[in-house]
Structure 1
Amino acid sequence: MTDNDNTTNSSLRPRQTKMVGNNKTTNGSPPRSTTSSSSSSAASPLAMRTSPFLPTPLETLALAAYPALLAFGTLFSVLSPQTRGAPYDAGAQSHNPATAPSYFARKDNVFNVLFVKRGWAWISISFLAFVLTHPALNNQISGNIRKVRAATRWVLVTAWWALVTQWCFGPPLIDRGFRFTGGRCEVAAEAIEEGIADKADAFTAAACRASGGRWSGGHDVSGHVFLLVLGSYFLVQEVGWVACRAGRLFGPAREERCVVMGDGAVKGAGVEADKSGAATDESELGVGGKFALVVVALCWWMLLMTAIYFHTWFEKFTGLLVAAMAIYPVYILPRWVPALRAFIGMPGI
């Protein structure tokens, strides 16, 4: 029995050694180093890259907030008996202050008068404050280049705002669209009788109001919706991506943008940030960044109030659509056009 036991034990030893030696094969599990490599690969930025031709998931979420606000406001205006029953002057795009269903339904409310009516000034001032105070835009290596590119993006977006609402080689695009769809200026009879207006038709909304008349008959794109969407999304892009790359929002690895390089290769946008020497460790938004976020919040609130109390659903939709027309060329197109990207850059890069 002793000999048998020894024989048995000795015969088992090689088997045990073989099993231990082949453990990685027998169990079907990869070696520890391979597992670690796979995990790090799965967590790498490669797994989070998206198409350079489309908005990232974060951008899509931010963009979806605008039609969601407009849809909610429009639905609320239809379902609320107080709002639905309040008299509304479609020509003047206003509720009568005496019968307005809410303080925010009055065009003379302080937020409309002091904020929305001067909306682009607030947006521009908050953007300037952010650019001048945030350390990511003021580092010694790439600060001046990034400031120039940020200013270029502001010029492009501001130019679109001016063309649509202020002047486009004559009347702005909103007024041209109103006239093109059959609209005209109806001069108030009282104004003519008092001699403060003539009978000539006016070609802009401002001139029509100055002559004592009112727009009538055409499609009036919502200028409030256009301004609030374009301005707030501009700030969201400019402040948001800098904060994301600094690790302030969603962590430093949440870089989802991709760019097409000069040789056609698709790489993460962080590659260009590294080349430019852009700092990625400034974690504070700063006074300018916080100011910009307050302006964004006010824009969203007033957009909701506009959706509830002013304009038809189609006028609000076209205001959103016209604002969106500037977003893709300024913030998505440069990702797959290297020459354009070299000129206007990308926020956070």
Structure 2
Amino acid sequence: MEYLKKLLKPHQLVSAVLYPATVFIAFLYATVGNPPETYFSNKRNVLNQFFVKIGWFWVTLVYFAYLYNVRSKRLQNTNQFIRGTIRYVFVTLYWYIMTQWLFGPSFIDRVYVLTGGKCSSLVQDDFKASAQLANVFQQQTCRRLGGQWEGGHDVSGHCVMLIHASLFFWEELSWMFYNFTAFVEMKVRDRAQYWSIVSVLAIASIWWFMLFMTGVYFHGHFEILSGAIFGVLGWATLYLGVFPKIPDIGVPSIYL
């Protein structure tokens, strides 16, 4: 613990504990708590359909509203806007490689195939369809063609995105951890800034809640665990490794 205190700032200690703990408690509850079927155990619930499934759209929307109104003070500080955009590009690239595309299948799809997974036909003894689907190595393509993804280790892409995006928000709003009064004063001084921050906090809250629901109702324990590991890895690589080595990148402005 002492090593972590030396390595991490106070707000980072909180986030480094919060999200892994949420995942652990969720699948512990799923294992021993016998959770009942609820609205959120259905994948068609409104938060999953209209927020999580297009999660990076919401990340982009609320982050750039925040970056424009707060960090750059409506482009009065163009350096802050440029630096924030650079951070966003790095963070987005990690998410894209993990869940969307890595010179072909995404990293998660590659893990699935390397651990014995494949795309197979839903119809038994349909050898022609099975032969065609055997050459499909992307989960989305497999499902679009009417196949099923089976046999491998399915790293939870939801878990990766939800944790990765949440930790991104946590770092970008880290100044609030040390100066919450500045945020409260914005409600009177500059409502556009205030609501820009509220929108980020609202999406971050949805992400945390849906992370818990994912851990309770969807994926196996090891799939959630690996998703959590890769979700945290992006934050650790960028905010502990890359950004601190770039002057002023990732350092919250004292004066908002």
TM-score (norm 1): 0.64
The share of aligned pairs that are identical, in percent, is: 32
Structure 1 unaligned blocks of 5 or more: 1-49, 84-100, 251-281
SS at match of 2:149: strand
Contact 1:183/1:217 (8 A) holds in 2: yes
* Structure 1 residue 57 displacement after superposition: 2.3
Q: Which has the higher helix share?
A: 2
Q: 2:228 matched to 1:320? A: yes
Q: 2:104 matched to 1:170? A: yes
CA–CA distance in 2 between the matches of 1:236 and 1:167?
26
Q: 2:24 matched to 1:116? A: no
> Given residue 73 of structure 2, which amino acid in structure 1 is its aligned partner?
N
Q: What are the within-5 Å matches in structure 2 for residues 1-349 of structure 1?
A: 51=6, 54-83=7-36, 101-134=37-70, 136-138=71-73, 143-189=77-123, 198-241=132-175, 243-244=176-177, 246-248=179-181, 286-334=194-242, 337=245, 340-341=246-247, 344-348=249-253
Q: CA RMSD in A?
A: 2.8
CA–CA distance in 2 between the matches of 1:178 and 1:172?
10
CA–CA distance in 2 between the matches of 1:308 and 1:122?
23
Contact 1:225/1:306 (8 A) holds in 2: yes
CA–CA distance in 2 between the matches of 1:295 and 1:64?
20
Contact 1:130/1:286 (8 A) holds in 2: no
Q: 1:168 to 1:325 in 2, by over 3 A?
A: same
Contact 1:225/1:319 (8 A) holds in 2: yes
Structure 2 unaligned blocks of 5 or more: 184-188
CA–CA distance in 1 between the matches of 2:138 and 2:66?
35
Pair member with larger Rg:
1
CA–CA distance in 2 between the matches of 1:325 and 1:217?
25
> Given residue 137 of structure 1, which amino acid in structure 2 is its aligned partner?
S
> Given residue 253 of structure 2, which amino acid in structure 1 is its aligned partner?
G
Instruction: Report Cα offsets for 1:27-60 as digits up to 9, x if no partner.
Output: xxxxxxxxxxxxxxxxxxxxxxx74xx2112211
CA–CA distance in 1 between the matches of 2:56 and 2:218?
20
CA–CA distance in 1 between the matches of 2:166 and 2:251?
17
Contact 1:186/1:201 (8 A) holds in 2: no
> Given residue 114 of structure 1, which amino acid in structure 2 is its aligned partner?
F
> Given residue 33 of structure 2, which amino acid in structure 1 is its aligned partner?
S
